Structure 1
Amino acid sequence: MHTVLLVLVFSLIHPNLQGQESSGPASPTNLSASDHPWDHGEKIDIQWDDIEKNEQDKVRSYSIYSSRSANTDSFIFVGTIDSDISKYTIEKLDRKYSYYFKIIAVDKSGNESEPTVTLSAISPTRQWFDGRRFPLFIITLIFCGSVVYWIYQARTGIPLKIRKIAGLEAVDEAVGRATEMGRSILFIPGIQDMNEIQTIAGITVLSHVAKVAAEYDAKVEVPTSRSLVMTAARETVQASFLTAGRPESYNQDLVYYVTDEQFGYVAYVQGMMVREKPAACFYMGAFFAESLILAETGNTIGAIQVAGTAMPAQLPFFVAACDYTLIGEEFFAASAYLSGEPDQLGSLKGQDIGKIIVAAGIIIGVTLLTIGTVAGPESGFGSSLIDAAEYLKSVILT
């Protein structure tokens, strides 16, 4: 009796099971994978044949998976696309590995087809040129072209209009005051070595200060914390005195090395400032914690102080304690402004084109992102604007 009942129940259930198995959509066919052209080696393109028309009406979407092995349990979900699409690009892959890909059709009832897997593994390949960065290539050409153009203009003798920098305009005043008071001029080219670009910029400013001091017959004292900086500073000051027509006034003993130790150097300079009370103090270079000590000491002795650095953490101390401060890029522009060399002036003007491009990119990106957010990321228009802003940020501006 029990056996008969089991047979009847199984016969009733089995047709339903067969119906469920046959209700799934047809599997995609001819799945293939190929390397994405013109990329950085992190994308793979996959494509497959469209299913028949009568089956296509049943399919709602395709689910795509990737794996580093052919093991069915190791596939990781990548994304879902609409049924009317027959190709897809998988991004953010590692070119050190090879990948298998799997695609499953899903119908409107949520039933899944049998998976279709690529026959062989494939790894992304880095190309010589990343097509997504082509706009950045164009911007680079414009920027480099503008630099070369303005250098050429400067070399031909055409005067280039450069904005005046207040701190540099005060050099003559500071040196003149030191001459009238019979006191020295203190110049500190930072505490870094010659491999630091801020030190090089500081040495360029020193050339101008030394030239003005030679014309006024004032004494310039340059204590350094690096031996190479001392050598470069001596040659710079000597050349400036020679240019001013006062080579006999040059004294190399006024440009000297103290110590590499940060606070040992600061202790010496601070003591010298208190004893000799220089009338003008120039701080041009890379500074760290010693910036506040030096600036406060100079402020206490009543010296005219002009500072310049690209160290963001030290700028507030210089701004608070010094009479003039060259902030960040002004410091590097000062070296070009003072030297008057065509190459530096042309580079300075050419960089302005790059700044305009970056500023325009930021404004456009903010506008696109704002409009896209207001329109709603769920809408096609809003999503397109947000994607465009993301592309602008991640590909062009970075």
Structure 2
Amino acid sequence: MAAAMLSANAGALAMPPAPTNVVATDRPGDGGGAVMLQWTAPAPSEVKEARIERSATAAELKASAPNSAAWISVASAPTLAGEGLGFEITDLPPSAANKSSTDQLVFRVAFLGTDGEMSAFTDSNTVVGVANIFLAKKLGLAVSLVLVCGSVILWILLARAGRSVKIRRIAALDAVDEAIGRATEMGRPVLFVPGIQDMTDIQTVAGVTILGRVAKTAAEYDATLEVPTCRSIVMSACRDTVQAAHFGAGRPETYREANINYITDEQFGYVAYVAGRMVREKPAACFYMGAFYAESLVLAENGNAVGAIQIAGTAEPSQLPFFVAACDYTLIGEEFLAASAYLSGERDQLGSIKGQDLGKLIAVMVILVGCVLATVAAFAPEGASARASAAFQNFLGG
């Protein structure tokens, strides 16, 4: 009986079979830091998991000397992970000579048995992880770029060919003529505030573009236009814009450079000057077009107090509620940035906006499809919907 027990214990602690056909290959379509490792496994009942190690690079051996180890543990993987495409090993150290690839590496795999015994390691071939020109994970980004840019170019060409491109009416821009006409009738000036940022801010650029239309209308109506600025470069841009608008209106003699001046870079010093000027001169129309922050409500409330028609436009979400509450008209977000195309009617700009809208529609459809797939996958994590959701996320780079 004792002999039988010893025989049973020896069988229980038997070493599991070693893996066979261990092959390491560079992962296609990556940045050079990943390798695919394949192996053939025995029956799953005999093995608990696979242990993977890789050879240490020369730099790692030198850094850890004199206690350097020739092999470094990489990961533990399910027994059957090496089947099919193989098990992906990422975050491999780059080569000192070429950062876009790895050194020559050797991997080895051993199986851990259900009783805790480890099999012998089986070495793979030598492999080098190389960076690929085309990254597969960026395929979704490439497709999105082609679709959006293609739609923009297509609509620009269609607009140039005479295709009608309609943009919905924007009440704030349609009210420009009304506001300036009212100022002319009352004999009071028009105040234009181009925000508090420099010309490096896209909102300031959009505001100066709208200033061109306001200045041209003011020149045609013979209204006084005042533009206080808080950046010297913005002052120069505004002067050039207003002068060009007066020439465009055929009234270059009415241009007054002194009405466009630089005040100060200090935020509330600038706001104090503008607010004081509003109280003293009582403009009949106030335009706030650009980047605004804490001063938005100060300006809008002062304009409201002097009875001016106020038209505001900004892409700052935190300031929009103040403008909406205190102004007669407000350009919200993209309305403000698309104003130049709306006012000019220039076909290239209109086609560009139409193409961007098509790109946004595609983005919304992609989001909806992703939400539906993710929702269905949550209720059936092992089904085809889960695999489709994972594939969709991988395609989009997730």
- Tell me which interval the TM-score lies in, with the shorter structure as reference length: 0.7 to 0.9
| Equivalence for 2:384 | 381
Instruction: Return the alpha-carbon distance in structure 1 between the equivalents of residues 9 and 134 of structure 2.
Output: 54
When residues 76 and 274 of structure 1 are mapped into structure 2, their CA distance, relative to the original with a 3 A threshold, is same
Structure 1 gap ranges (5+): 1-7
When residues 41 and 298 of structure 1 are mapped into structure 2, their CA distance, relative to the original with a 3 A threshold, is farther
**1:389 Cα deviation (Å)?**
5.0
8 Å CA contact retained: 1:66, 1:101:
yes
- 1:344-364 alpha-carbon deviations (Å, 9 max, x no partner): 222111101110110000100
* Matched ranges for 1:33-48 at <5 A: 33-48=24-39
Residues 1:326 and 2:331 are matched in the alignment: yes
Residues 1:104 and 2:93 are matched in the alignment: no
Return the structure number with greater relative CO, CA threshold 8 A, min gap 6.
Answer: 2
8 Å CA contact retained: 2:12, 2:115:
no
Partner of 1:288, secondary structure, is coil
- 1:225-277 alpha-carbon deviations (Å, 9 max, x no partner): 11111111111111111111111111111111111111111111111111111
Range with greater deviation from structure 2 (212-221 or 106-115): 106-115
**1:156 Cα deviation (Å)?**
3.4
| Equivalence for 2:216 | 211
Range with greater deviation from structure 2 (190-199 or 87-96): 87-96
Among 245, 252, 266, the residue aligned to 1:247: 252
Among 16, 19, 40, the residue aligned to 1:25: 16
Among 210, 224, 227, the residue aligned to 1:222: 227
8 Å CA contact retained: 1:361, 1:392:
no
**1:331 Cα deviation (Å)?**
0.9
**1:96 Cα deviation (Å)?**
2.8
8 Å CA contact retained: 2:49, 2:76:
no
| Equivalence for 1:5 | none
- 1:174-214 alpha-carbon deviations (Å, 9 max, x no partner): 11111111111111111111111111111110011111111
8 Å CA contact retained: 2:138, 2:397:
no
Instruction: Return the alpha-carbon distance in structure 2 between the equivalents of residues 317 and 117 of structure 1.
Output: 69
Instruction: Return the alpha-carbon distance in structure 2 between the equivalents of residues 79 and 57 of structure 1.
Output: 13
Range with greater deviation from structure 2 (74-83 or 131-140): 74-83
When residues 382 and 149 of structure 1 are mapped into structure 2, their CA distance, relative to the original with a 3 A threshold, is closer
Instruction: Return the alpha-carbon distance in structure 2 between the equivalents of residues 252 and 280 of structure 1.
Output: 20
8 Å CA contact retained: 2:313, 2:331:
yes
Instruction: Return the alpha-carbon distance in structure 1 between the equivalents of residues 77 and 351 of structure 2.
Output: 51
| Equivalence for 2:351 | 346
When residues 225 and 91 of structure 1 are mapped into structure 2, their CA distance, relative to the original with a 3 A threshold, is farther
Give, as a single letter, the amino acid of the residue that structure 2 aligns with 1:380: G
* Matched ranges for 1:62-73 at <5 A: 62-66=49-53, 69=56, 71=69
Instruction: Return the alpha-carbon distance in structure 2 between the equivalents of residues 307 and 221 of structure 1.
Output: 16
Residues 1:75 and 2:73 are matched in the alignment: yes
8 Å CA contact retained: 2:141, 2:396:
no
Among 377, 385, 391, the residue aligned to 2:394: 391
* Matched ranges for 1:213-362 at <5 A: 213-362=218-367
**1:101 Cα deviation (Å)?**
4.0
When residues 57 and 223 of structure 1 are mapped into structure 2, their CA distance, relative to the original with a 3 A threshold, is closer
Instruction: Return the alpha-carbon distance in structure 2 between the equivalents of residues 109 and 21 of structure 1.
Output: 6
% identical equivalent positions: 48
Give, as a single letter, the amino acid of the residue that structure 2 aligns with 1:239: A
Give, as a single letter, the amino acid of the residue that structure 2 aligns with 1:80: P
Q: How well do the aligned residues superpose, as a CA RMSD in angstroms?
A: 2.8
**1:110 Cα deviation (Å)?**
6.7
8 Å CA contact retained: 1:309, 1:326:
yes
TM-score under structure 1 length normalisation: 0.85
**1:330 Cα deviation (Å)?**
1.1
Instruction: Return the alpha-carbon distance in structure 1 between the equivalents of residues 254 and 81 of structure 2.
Output: 86
**1:92 Cα deviation (Å)?**
4.5
Residues 1:129 and 2:121 are matched in the alignment: no
Instruction: Return the alpha-carbon distance in structure 2 between the equivalents of residues 327 and 174 of structure 1.
Output: 19
**1:60 Cα deviation (Å)?**
5.3
Instruction: Return the alpha-carbon distance in structure 1 between the equivalents of residues 79 and 365 of structure 2.
Output: 35
When residues 211 and 384 of structure 1 are mapped into structure 2, their CA distance, relative to the original with a 3 A threshold, is same
Partner of 1:75, secondary structure, is strand
Residues 1:194 and 2:199 are matched in the alignment: yes
- 1:33-82 alpha-carbon deviations (Å, 9 max, x no partner): 2211112334311123x35xxx5475456425355738488514343253
8 Å CA contact retained: 1:365, 1:392:
no
Instruction: Return the alpha-carbon distance in structure 2 between the equivalents of residues 67 and 237 of structure 1.
Output: 69
Range with greater deviation from structure 2 (167-176 or 26-35): 26-35
Partner of 1:82, secondary structure, is helix
Structure 2 gap ranges (5+): 58-68, 96-101
**1:160 Cα deviation (Å)?**
1.4
